[in-house]
Amino acid sequence: MEWQQDREYAMSREVSVMLGRLRRRWRVALLAGVVALATLSCARGSYNDLNPDPGENLAEQNAADRDREREMRRSLCPAGTTPCNGECVDLQSDAFHCGGCGEVCAPPGICDRGQCLAD
pLDDT in tens, 50-92: 555 566 677 788 888 888 877 776 667 888 888 888 889 999 9
Helix (H/G/I), strand (E/B), else coil: 71: helix
Nearest CA to 91 out of 71, 105, 111 is that of 111
Around Cβ 85, how many Cβ atoms within 10 Å? 9
97 and 114 Cβ atoms separated by less than 8 Å: no
> What are the pLDDT digits (tens) for 1-50?
666 666 666 667 777 777 777 778 777 777 777 777 777 665 555 555 55
Q: How many Å separate Cα 23 from the centre of its chain?
A: 40
- Cα(104)–Cα(83) distance, integer angstroms: 15
pTM of the model: 0.39
